[in-house]
Chain A
Amino acid sequence: MNLIIEGIQKAFFLIFTLDAEVLGITLLSLQVSGTATLISLFIGISVGTAVALSRFPGRQLVVSLINTGMGLPPVVVGLFVAIFLWRNGPLGFLEILYTPTAIILAQAVIATPIVTGITLASIQNLPVNLRLQILALGATRVQMVWLLVKEARLPLLAAVMAGFGGIISEVGASIMVGGNIRGYSRVLTTATVMETGRGNFDVAIALSIILMLLAFFVNAILTQIQQRERPR
C-alpha cells in the first residue's frame, strides 16, 4: 500500500517538476501513437468504407480477416516488423529498426485493422435506403461516400479511440522494434517495463499513472467532440 502512495506522490512530483526525461518520454508516446493512429485512420477508413460498400467474391473472407486483425497480438506484429526491418531483412535498407519510426510503423499495423473493422461495421449499419436516397437526389458516388462517412462519424470517433487506446498502451511491439533506447525510442510503456525490472516501482507506478492520465485526456477530448451533438 505504501508503495502505491509513494508511486502516486512520485507521479505528481514528476509531472509538476516537469521532469525533462519523463516529459520527453510522454511526448514521444503521444506523437508516436498519435501519428500511428492518423496513419491507421487514413488507411482504415478508406478500406473499411470500400469493403462496406462493395460486393465481390471472397468478401466474406476479407471481412473475417479484418475482424481477426482487430485482435492482432502486438508481440506478433512486433516480431514480424522487426524481422522485416533487420539490416539483413527485406526492408533493411530503410535502416529504421530501433527508431521511433519503426514503432509508428508497428503501431499503425496494429491499429489499422481496428479502425477498418469499426468503419466497416458502422458504414454497413447505415440504412440501405439512405444510400439510395442520396444517389436518387443526384449525388455523385464520391459525394455519397462522403455523406455516408459523415453520417457514421459517431462510431468512427469510437474507432479513433479504440485505435489510439490500443496502441498507446501497447508494449510488446514497441520494445521489440523500438529497443527502448533512452531519450530516443523510450515510450511510457517500455519505460514502465524497464523501471519495474530495475525495481524502481515508484517510478514505474508514476509512469503508469501518467500513461493513464494521457489516455484519459485524449479520450475525454474525443468524447467531447463525439457527444457535442444532442441526440436527435
Chain B
Amino acid sequence: MKRELKKVLGAALVAAVFLIGMALPASAAGPAQKNLILATTTSTQDSGLLDVLIPVFEKKTGYFVKTIAVGSGQAMAMGQKGEADVLLVHSPDAEKKFMTEGYGVNRLIVMHNDFIVIGAPADPAAIKGAKSTVEAFKKIAAAGSLFLSRGDNSGTHAKEKGIWKAAGINPERQKWYQQTGLGMGQTLNVAAEKKGYTLADRGTYLALKKNLGLEILKQGDPILLNVYHVIPVNPAKWPKVNADGAKTFSDFMVSAETQGIIKTFGVEKYGGALFFPDAGKKEDDLGK
C-alpha cells in the first residue's frame, strides 16, 4: 500500500516537472518591452482581419502583439487607464473626446466599411422600403418589432444610439428592444435565432452570413458609414505605455503594404472586400 502511494506521488512529481517545463517557454516570449497591447473592437477580430495583419506586423518588427478584442468603448477605457498601448477603434465621437482629453496621440484614419441594418427576410416592420435608416428605425419602433442592440458601448452600439437619437426615439426599456451585451458575432447569432433586427458592421456580417439566414434590409445611407482609426495611447499620461511600439504599429496600419492587404482581405472568401483602406484621407471626404 505504501508502494502504491509512492507510485502516485512519483507520477505527480513527473507530471509537475513536465508541466512546469512546458510552461517555461510559453512565459518566456521575448523581453517585456517587446510586448504591445492592442485594444480593439470585436469586428476586427471576428472578421479575421487581425489574424492576417498581426503576423505580418510581428514578423516585420519583432514586436509581440497582445490583441485584446473588446468593444470600442472598453478599448478606449483601457487606453484611458494606460492599460493598452494602441487602439484600433470605430467610434468617432467617443474618439474625438478621447483625443481632446489628451489620452491619445496622432489619431490616424485606417479604413472604413459600412453598417447595415439586418433582419429576417420576412421583414415584419417593412423597413425595406424605408427612405432612410432613420425612417427604418422609426418603422421598427412603430411596429414594435424585436430589435437586438449590442448594449456594450461598442462603436456599433454608439452608432445605433446615434440613429435612435436622430429618429427622436428612446428605445431603452421598451419591450421590443433587447440588449445582448455581447460582441457583434454573438449578437448576430442572437438576432438570427430570435428573427430580430440589428445593426451590424458589414465585415462581421459577411464573415458570419453563411449560418445566419438574415438579410441586409437597409444599406448605403451616409449615416451608416463606419470608420476605423488607429490611436497610440499618450505616454505622457502613462509612462508604462509602450510608445515606440504603438507608433510602429500605427505607422504599419497606414503603410502602403498593409493598406493593400486590407483592400484584398476577404475578397476571395466572401466575394467582396470587408474593409476599404483609407490611409491619408479625411474622414469628412468618405462616403461622398
Contact = CB atoms under 8 A, between A and B. Distances in A.
Contacts of A58: none
Contacts of A184: 26, 29, 64, 66
Interface string B1-34: 1001100100110011001101100110100100
A95 B32 contact: yes
Given A198-B185, A199-B208, A98 B22 contact: no
B64 to A, nearest CB: 8
A73 interface: no
A88 B45 contact: no
A165 B54 CA distance: 33
Contacts of A101: 23, 27
Nearest to B48: A198
Interface stretch (A115-123, A128-136, A174-182): A174-182
Given A31-B19, A225-B8, A199 B211 contact: yes
A179 B67 contact: yes
Contact of B20 (A35, A185, A229): A35
A96 B35 CA distance: 11
B46 A198 contact: yes
Contacts of A225: 8, 11
Contacts of B185: 196-199
B207 interface: yes
A100 interface: yes
B163 interface: no
Contacts of B8: 153, 225
Interface string A134-167: 0000000000000000100100000000000000
B266 interface: no
A35 B67 contact: no
Interface string B135-154: 00000000000000000000
Nearest to B2: A150
Q: Is the interface of B mostly helix, strand, loop or mixed?
A: helix
A150 B19 contact: no
A80 interface: no
Given A31-B22, A100-B23, A196 B15 contact: no
B186 interface: yes
A175 B251 CA distance: 29
Interface in A183-212: 184-185, 194, 196-199, 201
Contacts of A28: 26
A27 interface: yes
A99 interface: yes
A219 to B, nearest CB: 14
B212 A199 contact: yes
Given A88-B83, A199-B211, A182 B42 contact: no
24 contacts: A31-B22, A35-B20, A38-B15, A88-B238, A92-B240, A96-B27, A97-B83, A101-B27, A150-B5, A182-B67, A184-B66, A194-B45, A196-B186, A197-B46, A197-B182, A197-B186, A197-B189, A198-B46, A198-B185, A199-B188, A199-B207, A201-B211, A225-B11, A229-B4
Given A38-B12, A199-B185, A229-B4, 12 more contacts: A32-B23, A86-B83, A95-B32, A98-B66, A101-B23, A101-B27, A184-B64, A196-B185, A196-B186, A197-B185, A198-B208, A225-B8
List 3 A-B pairs, minimum CB-CB distance, nearest first: A199-B208, A197-B185, A98-B66
